[in-house]
Amino acid sequence: MVSSLGAGILLYTSFPPLSLWFLAPAGLAILVLSIRGISVRGAFGLGYLAGLGFFVPLLPWVGVYVGAVPWLALAALQAVAVAVFAGATALVARLPGAALWIACCWVATEAVRARLPFGGFPWGRLAFGQTDGPLLAIAQIAGAPGVSLSVALGGSATAAVVVGLARRSAWRSVSLLGSVLVTASALGSMPVPTAAITTPSKTVALVQGNVPRLGLDFNAQRRAVLDNHVARTDALAAEVAAGVKPAPDLVIWPENASDIDPFRNADAAERIDAATETIGAPILVGAVVSTGSGTTRNTALVWEQGTGPGDAHDKRRLVPFGEYLPMRSIVSKLSPYAAQAGNFVPGNGDGVVTIDETPLAVATCYEVAFDNLVSESVRSGAQLIAVPTNNATFGDTDMTYQQLAMSRLRAVEHNRTVVVAATSGVSAIIAANGDVLEQTEMFTADALVAQVPLNTEFTLATRLRSIPELIITVTAVFAMLVGWIASRRRRG
């Protein structure tokens, strides 16, 4: 039991802020060894302990302002996926080539967790903890599932080596681990293609206006949030006029920069109009827009200089129990915090807006965690990826840096520059090789300006979309079926 719990904790340490990426395979290896030789039911129980050791320390930001119950409930729910993985491992552990089947089972549980329930919760995928490690390069080939598979295979192969050594099958064991390490090294050492800053390129500005206060009620002073972003844009314009910073071609404001609907509030529209005139460039404005039927949309709105609102992206993947409340009538009776959930409705489309004649992929905050959303935008012609986000509702927690790691993986996966604009930090400019070129401090008003390349080429991961994940998942299901049949024959 202690080893299973410790295995989960080691998995957690691979994620920001610790970012000890090399401990993820060790955690997987210990978990696989801890469930060796026990029943599927017993493995399920030990796997659940490992899941708690993993998700409880990973997700405390969920409850920073609403208490421990939502945090622990979400961690307990996500831990079921690790329990299922452990049960699957008990089924396939005796099959030839078990290390590969075990790794496939981990990726399969991640695939399910990214879709169920309530649209899924991809947080905690092994790939998101590898942005400082050599396996990040695999993202350009097979995306996040490929990176997760490589990490899991390293862990399961290590476990197989330990078992082999215990059985005095040293040569066979070392050969297995050597093969895995050579393959992973070859893939991980592949050069990450990076578009050169020649032409075409754009000068992009990110404006971080900061908020009057943190927490769920940060937008109680909605006009102050908008005014902060206008003021910091005006300050940037002054820096441009003084020659301190280059003039931007386009400006990105974060999610919730204007929680005042500019279509219904003339004063908000006037403030945004003035900001575009002052900076001399169109602004992507994160706004809350009313639908007129009692619901709202989380919108990234292109505001053109002189002409006002133009292209728009409505957030497609909403945060359950935050931006909307599943089973509202039931949950409202169970939790006093239910009343704080929003009444947003999802948008549709491909997530691409055109700003300054540039096709821009918009992955609003939570959306960056979902493979299919970013992939669809890039395949639809986006040459640059923007992640407008509002992390003020999570305070000074690890959530910001965990999300930044996801953005770094997306940069490599699609060979696109990624720009992250946050209300209160961290805003960042990420090169196509995953390096963070510039970033702001938390809880400060700031602006970043950089010339970034535009790219139209697709990586293999972009072309394949979800095919690698599908193949891995089907392989895992087949292996589990074979393992189940073999276990019945042994019992018979």
Express each pLDDT in 245-263 by its tens digit: 999 999 999 999 998 999 9
Res. 437 pLDDT band, cuts 50 70 90: very high
- Element containing residue 282 per DSSP (H, E): none
Active site residue 315: yes
Tell me how far apart the alpha carbons of residues 260 and 263 are, in angstroms, rounded to a whole number: 9
Q: Would you place residue 173 in the very low, low, confident or very high pLDDT band (cuts 50, 70, 90)?
A: low
Task: Give me the pLDDT at residue 63, please.
Answer: 78
What pLDDT is stored for residue 325 in this prediction? 77
Tokens linked to 471: 């193949």
Lowest mean pLDDT among 25-39, 45-59, 217-231, 234-248: 217-231
Band (pLDDT 50/70/90 cuts) for residue 336 is low
Q: What's the pLDDT tens digit per position in 340-355?
A: 667 899 999 999 999 9
Separation in Å, CA 89 to CA 75, 86, 103, 429: 21, 5, 9, 40
pLDDT at 174: 58
In this predicted structure, the answer to whether residue 315 has a pLDDT above a threshold of 90 is yes
Q: Which of 365, 367, 413, 469 is catalytic?
A: 365
Distance from CA of residue 17 to its chain's centroid? 15
At residue 26, does pLDDT exceed 90? Answer: yes
pLDDT tens for residues 207-220? 999 987 665 554 45
How far is Cα of residue 327 from the mean position of the Cα atoms in its chain? Answer: 25
What's the mean pLDDT in 354-372?
97
Average pLDDT over residues 104-130: 96
Out of 105, 202, 245, 315, pick the active-site residue. Answer: 315
For the chain, the average pLDDT equals: 90
* pLDDT tens profile 277-310: 999 999 999 999 999 888 999 999 999 999 999 9
> What's the pTM value of the predicted model, to 2 decimals?
0.92
Cα(332)–Cα(10) distance, integer angstroms: 37
What is the reported pLDDT for 334? Answer: 59
Look at residue 337 in the predicted model and tell me its pLDDT. Answer: 62
Catalytic site residue from 110, 255, 413, 469: 255
Would you place residue 83 in the very low, low, confident or very high pLDDT band (cuts 50, 70, 90)?
very high
Which of the residue ranges 93-102, 317-326, 409-418 would you say has the lowest mean pLDDT? 317-326
Three-state DSSP class for residue 292: coil
Q: What mean pLDDT comes out for the span 388-409? A: 90
The pLDDT of residue 186: 58
Higher pLDDT, 4 or 339: 4
CA-CA distance, 461 to 205, in Å (whole number)? Answer: 28
Residue 476: pLDDT above 90?
yes
Q: What mean pLDDT do residues 328-348 have?
A: 70
- Report the distance separating Cα 397 and Cα 224, nearest Å: 23
449: DSSP letter: E
- Comparing CA positions, the residue from 122, 41, 29, 125 lying closest to residue 83 is 41
- Looking at residue 394, its pLDDT comes to 79
pLDDT band, very low/low/confident/very high, at 322 (cuts 50, 70, 90): confident
